[in-house]
Amino acid sequence: EAQVTQNPRYLITVTGKKLTVTCSQNMNHEYMSWYRQDPGLGLRQIYYSMNVEVTDKGDVPEGYKVSRKEKRNFPLILESPSPNQTSLYFCASSFYRVSGEQYFGPGTRLTVT
């Protein structure tokens, strides 16, 4: 089954404790991205990757890191989480960067206390 998987689905952590949210897709997509979803703000892009070893900032990259060592995986790293990073996070992948369907993962709800 074609899908994007994320882990964990739920995470409660404390300020400053490094964490990683994993993302994996099995559709051989070149383009992957991370979004955060906040009430009233919709989906805002954090980082994206156009291919292996190629990553770039989205609209809200501060406080996040990503890596793309393999085509299928695109982990999101929070080196020192803060409460303002409490949000719902989605990983997405697609064949094209723009003008094409994006496939979203099920989401990771992160709470930073």
Partner 1 sequence: GENVEQHPSTLSVQEGDSAVIKCTYSDSASNYFPWYKQELGKGPQLIIDIRSNVGEKKDQRIAVTLNKTAKHFSLHITETQPEDSAVYFCAASDNNNDMRFGAGTRLTVKP
Query: Under rule CB under 8 A, which residues in 52-71 are in contact with partner 1?
Result: 58
Q: How many CB atoms lie within 10 A of CB 18?
A: 10
**Shorter beta-carbon distance to partner 1: residue 12 or 41:** 41
Residues 6+ apart with CB under 8 A from 31: 48, 49, 50, 51, 93, 94, 95, 96, 97
- Of the residues 11, 52, 107, 111, which one makes contact with partner 1 according to CB under 8 A: 107
Least distance CB 98 / partner 1 (angstroms):
4
Distance CA 44, CA 6 (A): 18
Residue numbers at the binding site for partner 1 (CB under 8 A): 4, 33, 35, 40-45, 48, 58, 90, 92, 97-102, 104-107
